[in-house]
């Protein structure tokens, strides 16, 4: 076991898809429109089609500055042997062993941006989602007890999203469905349009995994005012998760779907107590302008939602004290440029303010409940 007597679950680990994933795995009818990953630079996760940037800007003015960043440079050196070996399943499992991770819930890297083209043909989006999910199933098959897939579904068409979510959970054994928090075709996650999908996730007993990725094409906090990548990134992840959380909670989605679970990923957890308090206050003060909800927003969150923490968050004990020890999940974000390495489990257990029970919940039990593994 990675830690004492219990297994450690990483609720947000990433894979690095091969650059030619979509040309190789997509339905042949869509191959001429499939993007390909760029490989001109180490760590380059951008996509392009016919030389034009896809889902993420093709020429990033901040790349030289990012290359000089401490974490970026350190991780490029640390993970160069993994990159040279092709980011295979074997590499992934070895990296998990080094960090003391027994089980990991797997998310995309290039796939975070693959479906973010506004007004993308829904049929193409569905074909790209199927291609990624087929590849991910193959990747996780190296050890399906340790590598747990999360489905990528198109957000441009409800019917296609329903079909792919159903296929991935029932046929491929995936443990969640990932969606971006940003509006797609002017629809947020709180839009009633998605109610049939939430009903399906209740039936399938898997969570909605809300994952942001800094992009050039969808509406996003920071994009409307900053060109600097770091400034955009510091805004995009927590802000978009807060907005999605408000829509799901205050918009009545969780009231209509009491069996739906949602997890907010890669935004840290420090924002949560403030956001719960702010939502509660607004329901109290502005209730006449909102849907009538029998529970306070904070009660819905504690009943149905989770948030991942960064291993080095100093605010973690305060979040547990204010929001509860049942809502926080451990996550590494490996192997992205802003990820950490080096006894990440120990950074959680080093918090003397956290009881052994709270530590175990963060490292294992909460993830088991979230992803239906208990």
Q: Are 144 and 173 in contact (CB under 8 A)?
A: yes
Which tops the pLDDT comparison, 47 or 277? 277
Average pLDDT over residues 75-96: 88
Entry pTM: 0.94
pLDDT of 303 reads 98
Domain residue ranges in the chain: 9-370
Please give the CATH topology (third level) of the domain spanning 9-370: TIM Barrel (3.20.20)
Q: Mapped to the 3 state alphabet, what secondary structure does 117-183 carry? A: CCCCCHHHHHHHHHHHHHHHHHHHCCCCCCEEECEECCCCCHHHHHHHHHHHHHCCCCCCEEECCCC
Q: Would you place residue 42 in the very low, low, confident or very high pLDDT band (cuts 50, 70, 90)?
A: low
Reply yes or no on whether the pLDDT at 356 is more than 70: yes
Report which of residues 49 and 339 the model is more confident about.
49
Q: How far is CA 357 from CA 325, 362, 368, in A?
A: 9, 9, 15
pLDDT reported for residue 58: 42
In angstroms, the CA 147 to CA 137 distance is: 9
Q: What is the pLDDT of residues 222-262, one digit of tens each?
A: 988 998 888 988 999 999 999 999 999 999 999 999 999 99
> Residue 189 is encoded by which pair of tokens?
């996650």
Mean pLDDT of 19-41: 92
Contact of 46 with 37, CB cutoff 8 Å: yes
Is pLDDT above 70 for 148? yes
Any idea which residue has 């029998």 for tokens? Answer: 294
| Predicted local distance difference test score (pLDDT) of residue 286 | 86
Average pLDDT, the chain: 91
Among residues 245, 133, 259, which one has the least CA distance to residue 195?
259
CB atoms within 10 A of CB 36: 18
Share of the chain above pLDDT 70, in %: 92
Tokens describing residue 316: 């973690």
**53 pLDDT tier (thresholds 50, 70, 90):** confident
The C-alpha angle with vertex 328 and arms to 325 and 332, in degrees rounded to 5, equals: 140
Give the confidence band of 94 by pLDDT, cuts at 50, 70, 90: very high
pLDDT digits (tens, 9 = 90+) for 274-328: 999 999 999 989 876 777 899 999 999 999 999 999 999 999 999 999 999 999 9
Residue 341: pLDDT band with limits 50, 70, 90: confident
CB 268 within 8 A of CB 332: no
| Confidence band for 128, pLDDT divided at 50, 70 and 90 | very high
- Which structure tokens are listed for 22? 């979509």
Taking only the tens place, the pLDDT of each residue in 149-203 is 999 999 999 999 999 999 999 999 999 999 999 999 999 999 999 999 999 999 9
Exposure b/e, 179-199, CB count within 10 A at least 16 = b: bbbbbbeeebbbeeebeebbe
Residue 93 phi, psi (nearest 5): -65, -35
Burial class (CB in 10 A: 0-12, 13-18, 19+), 218: buried
């Amino acid at each position: 076991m990675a830690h004492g007597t219990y297994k450690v679950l990483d609720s947000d680990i990433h894979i690095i898809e091969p650059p030619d994933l979509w040309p190789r795995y997509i339905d042949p009818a869509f191959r001429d429109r499939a993007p390909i990953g760029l490989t001109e630079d180490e760590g380059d996760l951008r996509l392009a089609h016919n030389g034009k940037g896809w889902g993420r800007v093709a020429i990033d003015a901040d790349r030289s500055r990012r290359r000089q960043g401490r974490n970026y440079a350190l991780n490029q050196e640390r993970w160069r042997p993994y990159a040279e070996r092709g980011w295979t399943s074997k590499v992934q499992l070895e990296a998990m062993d080094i960090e003391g991770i027994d089980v990991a819930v797997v998310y995309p890297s290039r796939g975070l941006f693959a479906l973010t083209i506004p007004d993308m043909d829904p049929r193409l989006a569905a074909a790209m989602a199927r291609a990624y999910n087929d590849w991910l199933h193959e990747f996780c098959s190296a050890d399906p007890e340790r590598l747990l897939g999360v489905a990528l579904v198109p957000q441009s068409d409800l019917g296609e999203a329903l079909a792919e979510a159903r296929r991935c959970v029932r046929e491929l054994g995936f443990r969640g469905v990932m969606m971006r928090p940003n509006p797609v075709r002017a629809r947020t996650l709180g839009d009633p349009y998605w109610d049939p999908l939430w009903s399906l996730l209740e039936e399938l007993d898997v969570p909605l995994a809300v994952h942001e990725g800094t992009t050039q094409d969808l509406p996003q906090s920071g994009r409307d005012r900053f060109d600097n990548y770091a400034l955009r990134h510091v805004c995009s992840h927590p802000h978009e998760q807060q907005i999605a959380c408000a829509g799901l909670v205050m918009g009545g989605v969780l009231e209509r779907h009491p069996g739906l679970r949602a997890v907010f990923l890669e935004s840290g957890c420090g924002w949560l107590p403030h956001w719960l308090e702010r939502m509660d206050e607004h329901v109290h003060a502005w209730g006449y302008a909102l849907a009538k909800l029998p529970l306070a927003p904070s009660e819905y969150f504690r009943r149905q939602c989770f948030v991942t923490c960064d291993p080095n968050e100093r605010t973690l004990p305060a979040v547990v004290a204010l929001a509860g020890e049942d809502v926080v999940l451990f996550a590494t974000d490996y192997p992205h440029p802003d990820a950490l390495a080096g006894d990440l489990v120990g950074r959680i257990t080093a918090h003397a303010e956290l009881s052994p029970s709270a530590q175990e919940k963060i490292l294992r039990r909460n993830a088991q409940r979230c992803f239906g593994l208990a």
